[in-house]
């Protein structure tokens, strides 16, 4: 586990719509736990695909991680986890065995060729907003200052359905 002295609070979004989605999300959460301290895990939601509609619905969750890693290093680490768990390149918005996004990092905005935080699609995706609000109902977008709860209430988003408590993914089998 990463030393969390001088730590940062990161919000990660996870999704899977291929294979054993529960097992894949569990494996991803367990791997992410090695990067810091998981403070909270949202419920798991079944979510209608965005973009490419003809594919299985996704299972999505969010987690709050306390980590000593810089944002770019954290992003590289979660992308390495994706590869280790079997993620392969595919069509944009297409099916995937695992997807891990860095949604928020502290209360800052970061922009580079390799990293954009907050995640650029955050305000337009219920599959990210709904689980994030499970973790902290008072979250605001660091750039616009907009309440994420208000955005979700006002938006016309893809359908989501709560499946189960995400904490069950942390339980020993």
Q: Average pLDDT, stretch 76-85? A: 96
Q: Is 116 exposed, middle or buried (0-12, 13-18, 19+ CB in 10 A)?
A: middle
Cα–Cα distance for residue pair 170/33, rounded to 1 Å: 10
> Are the C-beta atoms of residues 37 and 148 closer than 8 Å to each other?
no
Model's pTM, two decimal places? 0.91
Mean pLDDT of the chain: 90
- Residues of the chain with pLDDT > 90, as a percent, come to 68
Cα–Cα distance for residue pair 129/144, rounded to 1 Å: 15
Confidence of residue 3 (pLDDT cuts 50, 70, 90): very low
Q: Does residue 170 register a pLDDT over 80?
A: no
The domains located in the chain, with CATH, are 8-166 (3.30.70.560)
Q: Average pLDDT, stretch 4-15? A: 86
- How is 16-45 classified by DSSP, letter by letter? E-SS-HHHHHHHHHHHHGGGSEEEEE--EE
């Amino acid at each position: 586990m990463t030393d969390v002295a001088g730590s940062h609070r990161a919000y990660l979004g996870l999704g899977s719509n291929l294979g054993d989605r529960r097992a894949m999300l569990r494996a991803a959460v367990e791997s992410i736990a090695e990067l810091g301290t998981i403070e909270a895990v949202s419920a798991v939601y079944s979510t209608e695909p965005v973009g490419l509609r003809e594919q299985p619905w996704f299972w999505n969750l969010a987690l709050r991680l306390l980590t000593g890693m810089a944002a770019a290093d954290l992003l590289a680490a979660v992308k390495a986890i994706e590869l280790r768990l079997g993620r392969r390149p595919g069509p944009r918005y297409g099916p995937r065995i695992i997807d891990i996004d860095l949604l928020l990092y502290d209360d800052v905005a970061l922009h580079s060729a390799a990293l954009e935080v907050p995640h650029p699609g955050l305000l337009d995706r219920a599959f990210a907003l709904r689980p994030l609000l499970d973790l902290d109902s008072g979250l605001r977008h660091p750039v616009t200052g907009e309440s994420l709860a208000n955005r979700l209430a006002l938006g016309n988003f893809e359908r989501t359905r709560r499946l189960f408590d995400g904490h069950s993914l942390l339980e020993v089998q």
